[in-house]
Structure 1
Amino acid sequence: MFRTHSFVLLALMALLVLTQCTSAPDRSTKDPAEAVDVADQELSLTEEKSAGDWLQEADAAANEVEQHSALIRAANAFQNEHQWQQAAAILSQLAPKKITHHSQKYYRLAKARWAAEQKVWAKVIEELEDVATQFNQREFRVLSLQLLSQAAYQQQDYWQSLVWQVDAQRFAEQRNTDTVWSIARRIKQSELPQQRPNDLALAGWWRLVDYHHQAMTHPDSLTSFLNQWQQSFPNHDAATLVDIWLEPPLKPSESELEAEQAPPEPTLAVLLPLSGRYKQQGQAVRDGVIARTGEMKNLRVVFIDSEASDIESQQKQISELSPVGIIGPLLKDKVAAWSAQPITGIPQVYLNQIDDEAAQNSLTNVFFALSPESEAQQAAQKINQQFPSSKSALVITADGSSGRRMVDAFTSSWENEQAEQPTISYFSEREDMKTTVERSLGLTDSQQRIRAVKIAAGKIIVDEQERSRRDISAIYLPGNLQQTRLLKPFIDVSVSPFAEPIPVYASSATHELRNRLGDSDLNGIIFSDVPWLIESSGKNILLSQWLELRNGWGLSLARLTAMGYDSVSLIQRLEMMNRMPGLVWSGLSGELHIDNSVVQRKLIWATFSKGEITLAKEADNAGSRYR
Structure 2
Amino acid sequence: MPAKRRQFRFALTMPKPVPAIASAALVLALTACGSQAPKQQPPLVPEQRTQPGLDRGAAERLMQQAMSNATAERDRQLLQAGVIFAGLQDEERASQALQQIEAENLAQQEFADYALHYGKILSNQADLMEAHELVSAERVSSGIAFLPVETRVPLRQLRAELFSLFGEIDSAIAEHRALASIARTEEETRANNEGFWTTLMQLPSAELSARAASTSDPEMRAWYELAKLGRDTQMDISSQTTALQRWRERWPGHTANLTAPRQLQAFEQVAANQPQNIALLLPLTGKLSRAGRAIQDGFLAAYYAAMNNGAQVPDIQIYDSAAGNFEETYQQAVNGGAQFIIGPLDKELVNNLAATESLPVPTLALNYAETGRLTGDLVQFGLAIEDEARQVARQAYQLGHRQALVVAPGTGWGTRATEAFREEWQRLGGNIPSVAEYANQAAISKSINDSLLIAEGRAREREIRRAIARPLKFTPRRRADLDVVFAIARNDAARQIKPMLAYYYAGDLPVFATSQIYSGDDRERNRDLNGIRFTAMPWLFEGDNAIKDSIERQAKPSAAFAGLYAMGADAFRLFGRLPLLREFSEQRVFGLTGTLMLSADGKIEREQVWAQVRNGRARAITSAEYRKPMPTASRTDVVQAEEPLPAPEQLQDQIQQ
Query: Structure 1 length as normaliser, TM-score?
Result: 0.65
- Residues 237 and 271 of structure 2 are in contact (CA less than 8 Å); yes or no, is this contact kept in structure 1? no
Partner of 2:617: 615
Residue 269 of structure 1, CA deviation: 2.2
Aligned counterparts, 1:31-50, within 5 A: 41=48, 43-46=50-53, 50=58
3-state secondary structure, aligned to 2:258: coil
The change in CA–CA distance for 1:84 and 1:430 in structure 2 (over 3 A counts) is: same
3-state secondary structure, aligned to 2:280: strand
Partner of 1:18: none
Q: Does 2:103 match 1:88? A: no
The change in CA–CA distance for 1:125 and 1:439 in structure 2 (over 3 A counts) is: same
Unaligned runs of 5+ in 2: 1-38, 124-129, 628-657
Aligned equivalents of 2:474, 2:78: Cα separation in 1: 63
Q: Choose from 117, 121, 125 the match for 2:121.
A: 117
Larger mean Cα displacement after TM superposition, 398-407 or 113-122: 398-407
The change in CA–CA distance for 1:74 and 1:594 in structure 2 (over 3 A counts) is: closer
Residue 304 of structure 1, CA deviation: 0.5
How many residues end up aligned between the 2 structures? 544
Aligned counterparts, 1:576-587, within 5 A: 581=587, 584-585=590-591, 587=592
| Bigger radius of gyration among the two | 1
Larger mean Cα displacement after TM superposition, 410-419 or 597-606: 410-419
Q: Choose from 425, 444, 459 the match for 2:436.
A: 425
Aligned equivalents of 1:155, 1:541: Cα separation in 2: 34
Identity of counterpart residues, as a percentage? Answer: 20
Partner of 1:181: 194
Q: Does 2:386 match 1:373? A: yes
Aligned counterparts, 1:464-543, within 5 A: 466-468=476-478, 475-479=485-489, 488=497, 491=500, 494-495=503-504, 516-517=521-522, 520=525, 523-524=528-529, 543=552
Question: Residue type of the partner of 1:237?
Answer: T
1:186-242 deviation digits (Å, cap 9, x = unpaired)? 64162877459788xx99977754543469546433334444566625983338765
Residue 436 of structure 1, CA deviation: 2.7
3-state secondary structure, aligned to 2:183: helix
Q: Choose from 426, 449, 472 the match for 2:460.
A: 449
3-state secondary structure, aligned to 2:319: strand
The change in CA–CA distance for 1:38 and 1:317 in structure 2 (over 3 A counts) is: closer
The change in CA–CA distance for 1:468 and 1:404 in structure 2 (over 3 A counts) is: same
1:165-205 deviation digits (Å, cap 9, x = unpaired)? 95498336965846863674464162877459788xx9997
Aligned equivalents of 1:598, 1:157: Cα separation in 2: 27
Residue 615 of structure 1, CA deviation: 1.8
Aligned equivalents of 1:403, 1:189: Cα separation in 2: 30
Q: Does 2:347 match 1:332? A: yes
Q: Does 2:190 match 1:190? A: no
Q: Choose from 560, 563, 581 the match for 2:564.
A: 560
The change in CA–CA distance for 1:216 and 1:86 in structure 2 (over 3 A counts) is: same
Residue 283 of structure 1, CA deviation: 3.2
Partner of 1:163: 176
Residue 294 of structure 1, CA deviation: 5.7
The change in CA–CA distance for 1:161 and 1:376 in structure 2 (over 3 A counts) is: farther
Question: Residue type of the partner of 1:281?
Answer: A
Aligned equivalents of 2:221, 2:344: Cα separation in 1: 42
Residue 471 of structure 1, CA deviation: 7.1
- Residues 267 and 300 of structure 1 are in contact (CA less than 8 Å); yes or no, is this contact kept in structure 2? yes
Aligned equivalents of 1:189, 1:504: Cα separation in 2: 24
- Residues 534 and 615 of structure 1 are in contact (CA less than 8 Å); yes or no, is this contact kept in structure 2? no
Aligned counterparts, 1:188-337, within 5 A: 188=201, 190=203, 194=212, 209=227, 211-213=229-231, 217=235, 219-227=237-245, 232-233=252-253, 236-238=258-260, 244-247=266-269, 268-290=278-300, 292-293=302-303, 296-297=307-308, 301-308=316-323, 313-319=328-334, 321-322=336-337, 326-337=341-352
1:50-78 deviation digits (Å, cap 9, x = unpaired)? 3477799999x9xx999987786566445
Residue 522 of structure 1, CA deviation: 8.6
Partner of 1:27: none
Query: Structure 2 length as normaliser, TM-score?
Result: 0.62
- Residues 141 and 168 of structure 1 are in contact (CA less than 8 Å); yes or no, is this contact kept in structure 2? no
Q: Choose from 420, 423, 438 the match for 1:409.
A: 420
Partner of 1:352: 367
Aligned equivalents of 1:608, 1:43: Cα separation in 2: 55
Q: What root-mean-square deviation, in Å, do the aligned CA atoms of Structure 1 and Structure 2 show?
A: 5.7
Residue 300 of structure 1, CA deviation: 5.4
Partner of 2:109: 105
The change in CA–CA distance for 1:75 and 1:172 in structure 2 (over 3 A counts) is: farther
Unaligned runs of 5+ in 1: 1-31, 253-263
Q: Choose from 575, 585, 608 the match for 1:602.
A: 608
1:438-457 deviation digits (Å, cap 9, x = unpaired)? 22233212211220222123
Partner of 2:27: none
The change in CA–CA distance for 1:84 and 1:196 in structure 2 (over 3 A counts) is: farther
